[in-house]
Structure 1
Amino acid sequence: MQSPELREQDLSEMGSLVQSRVVLEVSSQVQTLLDSLDSATLDIGVTGESGAGKSTLINALRGLSDSDPRAAPTGVVETTAAPTPYPHPGLPNVRLWDLPGTGTPSFRAERYLEQVELERYDFFLLVASERFRESHAQLARAVAAAGKRFYFIRSKVDQDLQASRRRRPARFEEGQVLAEIRADCIWQLEKEGAAAPRVFLLSGFQLHRYDFPRLQATLAGELDGHKRHALLLALPAVTADAVRQRKESLRRHIWKKALLACLVSALPGLPLQLSVPLLMETVASYRRSFGLDEESLRALAGAVASSPRRLRAQVRSALGRELSPAAVQDVLNQAAFCGQAAARLARARLPLLENLVAGGISFVAAYALLHSALESFAGDAQRVLEAAYGSGDEGAPGSPCYPPHPGFLYD
């Protein structure tokens, strides 16, 4: 007969084996959820007449200047002969497609959409400048008839405003000129049969001004699920509201990241420290999403003719200033310390579940870390935007960050 000690050892080993299999299975399922989020595709067709500023708009929406080596080529003549995808620098599954120019004498909207493979795109941006043309109406009708959404972009409005100021300096009023341009575009589209057209006035060189925030909010409101998440992360967050939307979209998925880190640490014999690389990667991605990494700050400083040092000074959070394994570990240790009593209770009464409880403590610590990082990065990003563009936005930077309350799972 086996000794009681041996039976207890067998029971402990069996419990660890079952626990390991459960943890591995749940880990796989959580990773699948995260993979589906990261692999979501978004294809945006950008079309319009030659010289309307399509390529410049594509570069601006990707957060790049026209001089960037990764930028779509621009020029006074048509540079696009076939549909050309330009992936977002940080989100390769988000693609903006530069489509061949319209408006030539031989242009036929139906044949054009067939050539560019209409079904490939989630929606279209129809870009026009200077004046409304018949080709715009033809293309709008064809896109709508095919069941695809389109948004009419009146580009280069900064140039329109400069011309209007020269023509009537004594009577110039920016708001009135913009309203007149918008009303004319809507009237022209409705006259040609477009129902309730959405018109947005933009400048590829001043994306934070005019109608871009409204376009961003409209697109986010009309996309669902993972595509909406991809859009919110991809389009430049140049207003406080866009920063808030990005934060909220990321916040909804914190529990998945925290749970995965927790499950890694819950495997028998593996320490909590193995969660750190996973969490480091997530925090670094948050930092890039809010434009707080060095490359993003330099690019923004160049775009607004400011000093990178001046913008960097607005980054006040500890993890925003210095992201290191030691800093992440310090935050985890602080959160995990509060759960040591639960771990001692588990060892005394439920020895087989000790590792899972330890994993639960790791989950709380990981969630608190990611929640705090997200809140503080959003506050940093709003301060950077205010310094870059020189104007306060409604909604001041967030209040000081604290670990989430006990009901954070239900937020």
Structure 2
Amino acid sequence: MATMEIQELDLREMGTLIQSRVVLEVSNQVQSLLDSLETTTLEIAVTGESGAGKSTFINALLGLHDGDPRAARTGVTETTVSPTPYEHPRLPRVHLWDLPGTGTPRFQAETYLQQVQFERYDFFIIVASERFRQNHAELARAVAAMGKRFYFVRSKVDLDLRASQKRRPTRFQEVQVLREIEADCIRQLEKEGLEFPKVFLISSFELHKYHFQLLQDTLAEELEGHKRHALLLSFPSVTSEAVQKKKASLRKHIWKRALMACFVSALPGLPLHLNIPLLMKTLDSYRKAFGLDDSSLGTLALTASKPPLELKKQVTSTLGKDLSENVVQAILSQAATYGRVAARLVKDRVPLLDNLVAGGISFVAAYYLLHTALDSFAQDAERVLLKAYDLDNELQSSVFYPPEPGFIFD
């Protein structure tokens, strides 16, 4: 009976059935990949002595100013008595933990790690504003013994530089002073028995300077897979290099976003169209990742002592200025036009693939949109940085050129 029923189905009905099942199965697999990406957690522990600037450092990483209700409490006295998580404002599964200070006389590294539940953290950042001491080295050794990575951040280097310049105004050389500070930190830690310690000189108020980019690069290199992606998205883009690395990480996942947006077009019986709300959500997340939303621009303006409107004027791309459905539809229509001639040829010769071809056109259109958006947002972000920090370097060009024909294979 089943055989007779199959024989009675015409070719188009069979194709429709097969397409529906294929699309459903593939869409489930792609959604699973996206779910895995979006549910990845990143738990960063920040510890050090009272007054070292832990909370200020955390707020700088989160892109929050001290007055923000979501920010870590700052002060000249120890404000943290138990591990306190601070959720990233854009990535709810990324947390920076402000751990209690390590400088008390009763401090014992192993006991301390048990108390703060060391196993929950992906790595530890140990902050000191002056000299690294024995307790820092003890903590680092205990962290390493438990299979976790640790990094030393020497904070407040901007204050050290200003003090040095006042002491020796005629002989002051910033690069030389920074080298001296770094060498002294390494010497102290090696004296305490640590081999090849990684020390990064940071100013939480001037992240675009000194070793912040090196810190980010080091962390990214030593994290794997989705955690590396989460780190690159969560850290503020304060240099051109950071902007480009964030763009590259996002670009790796464009094809998944494009497929999910166009699967509805491959289902039989539906006209050629895309999931516009899904694309709008993705584009909005891109814009926020590059710090181009009003809230991020406002925080950067406060940090850089610039008028917010002055930074906002640097956002010149079409999607950056007007992320609306009308603009998105216009870009999609332009991209879809490229595939319609080929689609007609396929439709005439192989009617069975009618709906799959429609889905293919939609995929190219969605991919083109997201690819274009990443390039334009990255260019906007670099212009904003140049203006915010009065950088001398200029972008080679502020004009956006559409991707070349091979762009899908980046």
Superposed pair shares fold, TM > 0.5? yes
Contact 1:213–1:239, Cα closer than 8 Å, also in 2: yes
What's 2:308 paired with?
Answer: 308
What's 1:93 paired with?
Answer: 93
| CA distance in structure 2 between the aligned counterparts of 1:392 and 1:60, rounded to whole angstroms | 23
For residue 197 of structure 1, report the CA deviation from its aligned partner. 0.4
Taking structure 1 as the reference length, what is the TM-score of the superposition?
0.94
For residue 173 of structure 1, report the CA deviation from its aligned partner. 1.9
| CA distance in structure 2 between the aligned counterparts of 1:106 and 1:266, rounded to whole angstroms | 66
Q: Assess, with a 3 A threshold, how the Cα gap between structure 1 residues 199 and 170 changes in structure 2: closer, same or farther.
A: same
For residue 393 of structure 1, report the CA deviation from its aligned partner. 4.6
What's 1:226 paired with?
Answer: 226
| CA distance in structure 1 between the aligned counterparts of 2:293 and 2:271, rounded to whole angstroms | 30
1:3-402 matches, cutoff 5 A: 10-393=10-393, 396=396, 400-402=400-402
AA aligned opposite 2:41: T
Contact 2:262–2:273, Cα closer than 8 Å, also in 1: no
Task: Give the secondary structure class of the aligned counterpart of 2:200.
Answer: strand
| CA distance in structure 2 between the aligned counterparts of 1:272 and 1:82, rounded to whole angstroms | 55
For residue 155 of structure 1, report the CA deviation from its aligned partner. 0.6
For residue 394 of structure 1, report the CA deviation from its aligned partner. 8.0
Provide structure 1 residue ranges, at least 5 long, that are not aligned to the other structure. 1-6
For residue 395 of structure 1, report the CA deviation from its aligned partner. 6.7
For residue 17 of structure 1, report the CA deviation from its aligned partner. 2.8
AA aligned opposite 2:208: H
For residue 160 of structure 1, report the CA deviation from its aligned partner. 1.4
Task: Give the secondary structure class of the aligned counterpart of 1:272.
Answer: coil
Asked if 1:410 is matched to 2:409, the reply is yes
AA aligned opposite 1:92: P
* Structure 1 vs Structure 2 CA RMSD: 1.8
Percent identical: 66
AA aligned opposite 1:327: V
For residue 88 of structure 1, report the CA deviation from its aligned partner. 0.8
Task: Give the secondary structure class of the aligned counterpart of 1:209.
Answer: coil
For residue 145 of structure 1, report the CA deviation from its aligned partner. 2.3
Q: Deviations over 1:145-165 (max 9, x none)?
A: 222211101111111122222
AA aligned opposite 2:391: S
AA aligned opposite 2:34: L
Q: Assess, with a 3 A threshold, how the Cα gap between structure 1 residues 108 and 398 changes in structure 2: closer, same or farther.
A: farther
Task: Give the secondary structure class of the aligned counterpart of 1:27.
Answer: helix
Contact 2:131–2:188, Cα closer than 8 Å, also in 1: no
Q: Assess, with a 3 A threshold, how the Cα gap between structure 1 residues 192 and 67 changes in structure 2: closer, same or farther.
A: same
How many residues align? The count is 405
53-62 vs 131-140, greater mean Cα deviation: 131-140
Q: Deviations over 1:69-124 (max 9, x none)?
A: 10011111111111111111101111111101011110111111111111211111
Q: Assess, with a 3 A threshold, how the Cα gap between structure 1 residues 393 and 96 changes in structure 2: closer, same or farther.
A: farther
Q: Assess, with a 3 A threshold, how the Cα gap between structure 1 residues 223 and 394 changes in structure 2: closer, same or farther.
A: farther
| CA distance in structure 1 between the aligned counterparts of 2:296 and 2:265, rounded to whole angstroms | 33
Q: Deviations over 1:306-357 (max 9, x none)?
A: 1122111111110111011111111111111111122222332222211110
For residue 275 of structure 1, report the CA deviation from its aligned partner. 2.4
Contact 1:202–1:211, Cα closer than 8 Å, also in 2: yes
Task: Give the secondary structure class of the aligned counterpart of 1:102.
Answer: coil
For residue 15 of structure 1, report the CA deviation from its aligned partner. 2.6
Task: Give the secondary structure class of the aligned counterpart of 1:92.
Answer: coil
What's 1:4 paired with?
Answer: none
Contact 1:94–1:234, Cα closer than 8 Å, also in 2: yes
Q: Assess, with a 3 A threshold, how the Cα gap between structure 1 residues 316 and 9 changes in structure 2: closer, same or farther.
A: farther
Q: Assess, with a 3 A threshold, how the Cα gap between structure 1 residues 123 and 396 changes in structure 2: closer, same or farther.
A: farther
Task: Give the secondary structure class of the aligned counterpart of 2:273.
Answer: helix
Provide structure 2 residue ranges, at least 5 long, that are not aligned to the other structure. 1-6
Q: Assess, with a 3 A threshold, how the Cα gap between structure 1 residues 9 and 145 changes in structure 2: closer, same or farther.
A: closer
For residue 10 of structure 1, report the CA deviation from its aligned partner. 4.9
Contact 1:376–1:398, Cα closer than 8 Å, also in 2: no
| CA distance in structure 1 between the aligned counterparts of 2:383 and 2:408, rounded to whole angstroms | 29
Task: Give the secondary structure class of the aligned counterpart of 1:127.
Answer: strand
Q: Assess, with a 3 A threshold, how the Cα gap between structure 1 residues 22 and 396 changes in structure 2: closer, same or farther.
A: same
| CA distance in structure 2 between the aligned counterparts of 1:177 and 1:283, rounded to whole angstroms | 43
AA aligned opposite 1:298: G
| CA distance in structure 2 between the aligned counterparts of 1:107 and 1:246, rounded to whole angstroms | 39
Q: Deviations over 1:202-242 (max 9, x none)?
A: 11111111111111111111111111100000001100000
Taking structure 2 as the reference length, what is the TM-score of the superposition?
0.94
Q: Assess, with a 3 A threshold, how the Cα gap between structure 1 residues 398 and 95 changes in structure 2: closer, same or farther.
A: farther
Contact 1:312–1:384, Cα closer than 8 Å, also in 2: yes
AA aligned opposite 1:308: P
For residue 291 of structure 1, report the CA deviation from its aligned partner. 1.0
What's 1:3 paired with?
Answer: none
For residue 139 of structure 1, report the CA deviation from its aligned partner. 1.2
Q: Assess, with a 3 A threshold, how the Cα gap between structure 1 residues 46 and 56 changes in structure 2: closer, same or farther.
A: same
Contact 2:99–2:116, Cα closer than 8 Å, also in 1: yes
Q: Deviations over 1:244-286 (max 9, x none)?
A: 0000001111111111112122112223334222211111111
| CA distance in structure 2 between the aligned counterparts of 1:129 and 1:403, rounded to whole angstroms | 47
AA aligned opposite 1:247: K
Contact 2:262–2:366, Cα closer than 8 Å, also in 1: yes
